[in-house]
Every structure is written in C-alpha cells, then in structure tokens.
Amino acid sequence: MNRHSLFLCVILLFTALSGLQAQVNRNGQAIASNVQGDDIFYHTIERGQTVYSIATMYGVSPDDIYRLNPGSKEGIRAGDVLKVPQRDVAVNPVEADGSDNFIYHTIQPKETLYSLSKRYNVVAQDIVRANPGLTVLKYGQTIRIPATRIEELPTTEVKTVQKELEYTVERRETLYRISRKFNMSTAELIRLNPQLKDGLKEGMVLKIPMQSEEVVTEDVSRPMSEREVNALLTETKPVERVDLMKVALLLPFSTTERQAIPRFVEYYEGLLLAVDSLKNRGCSLELSVYDTGDGLTKVNQILNEPALQEANLIIGAVQNDQIHRVSEFAQEKQIKYVIPFTSRNDDVLSNAYAYQVNIPHSYLYANAAKAGCDLFANDNIIILKIGDKDEKTEFVQTFKSEMEQRSIPHKELAFARETFVDDIQKLLDSERRNIVLPTSSSLEALNNIRSHLRMLSEVAYNDHPPYSINLFGYPEWQTYTQHALDDLYALNTYIYSLFYADNLSPDVQSFYANYKNKYSKNLINTFPKYGMLGFDTAMFFFDALRQYGTNFEANLDKIDHKSLQTGFNFERVNNWGGFINTNVFIVQYRDDYTVVRNNIR
C-alpha cells in the first residue's frame, strides 16, 4: 500500500469513527443510526418512565426490552436510549379500532414530514392524525406511522365543512333565543353580525355559521408541495367552542366496597360546588350523573345513554376494567375523558383523549427527586436507613440515582436507637445545612428521630454548638401533624406531595364553609380530601371547556385555576397518547410557623 492510499484510508476511518460518535449518547450507548432497521426502533427515556410503561406504550413485553437492552434490568435513566422491537403487523393483526396498525419510527437528523411521507408512502395528513401531539420533528423522538399505504387509500372521504346560512329574525325573537337555537354564544353571534350592536329587529338577516358533513373527492391531480406538507405540523386548529357544556360523571355509589362510598359521595358534592361556581359566572352546564356499580354491566348500559353520546367531557370510573371500557368509548366518540383516582392505568398511554389526574408513582418520585436535588445540591445530605415496614425504597433509590447523575455527594447511616445521636453527629457538617432523609414514611420512624434532631439543632451537644438541620420526607407526614407538628416546624421540614391544602388559607376556609353550609356536614378526615379533589378537578376542566372549547388540549398551560389541594400540569405521555398530571408540591413547614407550598413541574 503506497503512502497516498494509506493517507486516504486514515481519512476514511476517521470519518467513519466521527459518524459513529455522533450516534452515541452521553453514557456511550449506541443510538439510532440514520437507517432504521425493520425489526427495531429507538426510544429515548423520559423522566418518570419505567420499562413496563415503555413496553406497554409500544405493545411489547418488558422481556422484549430486557432482551435487547440487558442493562435495563438494573434500572433505566432519563436521557438513555433503549432498543425496542418493532411489532410485526402481519403477526400482530390490527385490532377492531385499528390501534395496532402502526409501525414506529425514530426521527433522524434532517427528516421532515414530507420525507417521512415519501419514505413510507403514507399520506402526510394520516401521519399527523396518528400523532396528535406532534407539532415539530425532533431528533430522537418516536412517532407512529400508519401501516396503510397511499395506493390502498380511498380517493374520497367525509369531511366537516364550515358554511354560513342566512337567517331572518322573526317577531319577538331575542339574541339569547337565537344563540341557543344555533348552539352558539351571543358574543359570537354579534361578532359575525356587527349590526346587532344597534339592537335586534324583526326582519334582520343574520349570518349563522353551520357545519355539515360532505363527501369530498381528493384532488390527486396536484399533490401537496413539500412546503405545504411540512406546514401541516404547525397548522393552527380553530377553537371548537361550546355554549352549553355537557358533562357526564360516573361514580360507584353502589360498590361492594362500602367503606369507599362516602368518599365518592363527597367527591360528587365537591364537584357540585364547582358547578355552582361556574353557573354563578353565567355559564351553562348540563351535568349527568351515573352509578357505575361494580364490573361492566352498568357501565355498558350507561354508555348507551344519549347524554354520554353527546357529552363534551366524561369524568370518573374507578375500577380498571371500567376505565378501559369508558376510555375505548371516549376515544371512539372523540370525547375528553378524565381519570380522577387511579394512578395505575395504562389507557392514557394510547388514548389521546384521556387525562390522568393522579400522577403515577414513577413520575412522582422522579419529579420529587429532581426537586430535592435542586434544593439541596449544596447541602450535607444524610440518608437515614430505618428498615421498617413503610420503607420508601423506590423513592430513595430514585433520589440516590438523581444525586449520582448530578455528582451530588451524600452520606448514609443505619438507624440504631441506642446510639443514634452520637452516630449522626459524626456525619453532621458545622458549615452547611444538613438534610436528613429517613428511608421510611412511618410515624414510628419519625417519632424515633424528630426530638433528637431538634435537640441537635437547638442546643450544644458534646461541646459542639447547634447544627443547621432540616428534615426531608413524605406525603404521609401530613397526617402526623397532630403528633409531630411542632417538630416539623422547628426542623424546617420539607415534604413532597401530589396533594396539599393549607387549612389556614382564605380560599380553603371558604371552601370548608361553603361545603358545610350546602351539605350540613364537614369533610371526611381523609388524605386527600375527596370533596376538594372533586372541586379542583371540575374547576380546572370546566374552565378548560369554557375558555378553549372541546379541543382545549393546545391551551392547557393557559388554564389558571388556583387549586385548593391538587395542582395540575398535564403533559402528553407520547405523540399519540393522552396526558398525565405531573404536578408535584414541595411543602415546607418553617420555623416561623408558616407553611409554603411550591409547584414543581
């Protein structure tokens, strides 16, 4: 080999290695190449996701993930990349609703909607419809591609067409009567007919918007240009406003779990207070309430009711089989569906109309761990290993993993009752704040350490001046305030929680008063309080419907409900699925006897 040939080989080898390096993530794992294989695609892990949720999202098993990614059995981290097996549409036939008739694609550099449409020979609009959360193509994100090719598609389709008709005002008609007749607001009627500002008169000709379904033949003579295709992702959808909001509430008032019935009744009562609040603002709402009982018998009957067929919003169902059936119905009818209670349901992973209020534990722990690291990155963190029945193993592990990723040091101590004070003093730092996280959420664990930590923070011990000590703990601690409130204040305690109500705030006290005045009773002493949960959930989604219509998903971040107990920050789980509430509170009990609640998103 001559010198020139050797020089050329070195250049080619360097180029090849450079290209390979561009396809490696921060942990040195190989990620998607520019040419995706037919048998696998790639998934970038997001905060809070688990192997189970990722496998469920793509219709494969966790073992399929483990087989291709052996290291994932030991745990996964946000930002890492997993190989995922591509489902074989021929082997896994399409379900009745077409939900499985897709292949998955990992976006590569410089790919566009137009290039994907050409590559897979699929109509661009169908790709957009299959991924309702898709507004921009980002390298590494996953989308689904309909398996139907262009040549298999019909050349006609039914489309909703917006038209205007002319309506002549009859004698004694009012603006309100006309707006109700055509299911529109009076403000919209005046906007389209400015002459109404001078008053409504008999014989006036008004413009009325009307929607009708027409069979439209596709124009195949002129295909869309590349620019027109790519613009589909950023196309603004008109707000689909509703004048009369139609809401269906489904709760198990006759469940065999009789101890739960009072909580569901209270949820309903709290929701009714939200209905009253909305009507006091002059809004129209029609609420239909149904008893789901247990199992599917009543649910299947309810879903045949006209009120369900015409609903804008469905709230409720408790049991997983009920939720799944209602979710299928909501997806088929394109109705927004709120899942208010469970955090362990998979329907939100594949239903773009589903909204899960109760945050899954993996997301809760991930967000709480992130918040803890943000707050305590420069402090002396001590994890106190308790070893009782209420161990928070998953959260502690998530917190330790987050600290490891950020190179935040921490210390660990096994709790021993007889020597605890001397043991922990050896780990305390005189120059920094000391953050103590017990691994258990039990009252017993808290009782074993709180007075000792308070003593170390307030008086000299072993000739050492007091230390700066803070506790970091769990949602359950809110229920221990009768026993430990003074110590929680004295230790400037932080807790993470999905729920928190400040009983001293004017808004919460007003809610308590309104509830007692309307129902002649107090809220049940549970955590969380179901009456507040019903009120907060209803106020958020009623406001969403009122302000932004039935397609409010594009404006979720603009809904400004000052919650009593539950915060809301809905994030779409993937480009084709629904939304989960990822809001977490960090609550601090301060030594000046005040409580501060901060939203963590």
Q: Is there a single domain that holds both residue 378 and residue 491?
A: yes
Are 492 and 383 within one domain? yes
Beta strand residue intervals within 518-583, DSSP E = 570-572, 579-581
Residue 582 contacts residue 571 (beta carbons within 8 Å): yes
Q: Give the list of residues 6+ apart from residue 302 with CB closer than 8 angstroms, or none.
A: 250, 290, 292, 308
Going by C-alpha positions, the residue among 90, 91, 89 that lies closest to residue 100 is: 89
Weakly modelled stretches of the chain, pLDDT under 70: 1-37, 88-100, 149-160, 212-222
Residues in the chain: 601
Q: Indicate yes or no: pTM above 0.85.
A: no
Find the radius of gyration of the CA atoms of the chain.
29
Burial class (CB in 10 A: 0-12, 13-18, 19+), 170: exposed
Q: Is 7 among the domain residues?
A: no
Judge contact between 418 and 366, C-beta under 8 A.
no
424 C-beta neighbours (distance < 10 Å), count: 22
> Running DSSP on this structure, what letter comes out for residue 237?
P
Could you tell me the CATH number of the domain that includes residue 198?
3.10.350.10
Q: How many domains does the chain have?
A: 4
DSSP-assigned letter for residue 140? T
* Residue 580 bridge partners (DSSP): 356, 571
Burial of 250 (0-12, 13-18, 19+ CB in 10 A): buried
Torsion of CA 106, 109, 110, 114, to 10 degrees: 0
- Please give the structure tokens belonging to residue 325: 């059936």
Query: Residue for token digits 């939200």?
Result: 274
Same domain, 31 and 46: yes
d(CA 113, CA 35): 16
Compute the distance between CA of residue 27 and CA of residue 77 in angstroms, rounded to an integer.
10
Q: Tokens 């077409």 sit at which residue? A: 98
CB 591 within 8 A of CB 468: no
**pLDDT for res 213:** 62
Cα 79 to Cα 81: distance, rounded to the nearest angstrom? 7
Place of tokens 């000739």: 463
6 falls within a domain: no
Domain with residue 410: its CATH number is 3.40.50.2300
497, 524, 554 — which closes off a domain? 497
The verdict on 466 and 526 lying in the same domain is no
Please provide residue 577's backbone torsions phi and psi, each rounded to the nearest 5 degrees.
-95, -170
- One-character DSSP codes across 83-137: EEEPP-TTTSPPPTTSTT-EEEEE--TT--HHHHHHHHT--HHHHHHH-TT-SS-
CA distance 99 to 324: 14
Bridge partner list, 14: none
- Which distant-in-sequence residues (6+ apart) come within 8 Å of 556 by Cβ? 544, 570, 579
Give the domain range for residue 193.
156-217
- 482 and 367 fall within a common domain: yes
The verdict on 488 and 368 lying in the same domain is: yes
d(CA 550, CA 405): 41
| DSSP H or E run through 52 | helix 51-58
Do 92 and 72 lie in a common domain? yes
User: What is d(CA 489, CA 307) in angstroms, rounded to the nearest whole number?
Assistant: 50
Is residue 595 included in any domain, yes or no? no
Q: In this predicted model, what pLDDT tens digit does every residue of 461-484 receive, in sequence order?
A: 988 999 999 999 999 999 998 899
Q: Does one domain contain both 66 and 191?
A: no
d(CA 218, CA 198): 44
Q: Which of 78, 115, 308 lies closest to 229 in space, CA to CA?
A: 115
Q: How high is the pLDDT of residue 220? A: 47
Identify the three-state secondary structure at position 453: helix
From 465, 478, 468, select the one nearest 565 (Cα to Cα).
Answer: 478
**Confidence (pLDDT) at 463:** 85
Cis peptide bond prior to 209, omega within 30° of 0: no
Domain boundary among 111, 132, 150: 150
Has residue 11 been placed in a domain? no
Residues 47 and 64 reside in one and the same domain: yes
Q: Are residues 312 and 435 in the same domain?
A: no
Kindly give the pairing relationship between strand 579-581 and strand 584-589.
unpaired
DSSP string for 359-416: PPHHHHHHHHHHHHHHHHTTSEEEEEE--STTB-HHHHHHHHHHHHHTT---EEEE--
Q: Are residues 374 and 484 in the same domain?
A: yes
pLDDT of residue 182: 80
In-domain check, residue 470:
yes
**Is residue 71 in a domain?**
yes
Q: How many CB atoms lie within 10 A of CB 150?
A: 13
Question: Based on the domain organization, do 415 and 536 belong to the same domain?
Answer: no
Query: Residue 354 — φ and ψ, nearest 5°?
Result: -95, 140
Domain membership of residue 62 (yes or no) is yes
Q: State the residue for tokens 């169908």.
A: 126
Residue that finishes a domain, picked among 167, 182, 217: 217
DSSP 572: E
d(CA 360, CA 64) in angstroms, rounded, equals 23
Q: Phi and psi of 513, rounded to 5°?
A: -65, -45
Residue 85 main-chain phi, psi, to 5 deg: -70, 135
Q: What per-residue confidence (pLDDT) applies to 6?
A: 41
pLDDT of residue 156: 56
- Measured distance CA(374)–CA(592) in Å, rounded: 23
Q: What does the pLDDT read at residue 96?
A: 34
Question: φ, ψ for residue 186 (rounded to 5)?
Answer: -65, -35
Q: What is the DSSP letter of 562?
A: -
**For residue 600, is it within any domain?**
no
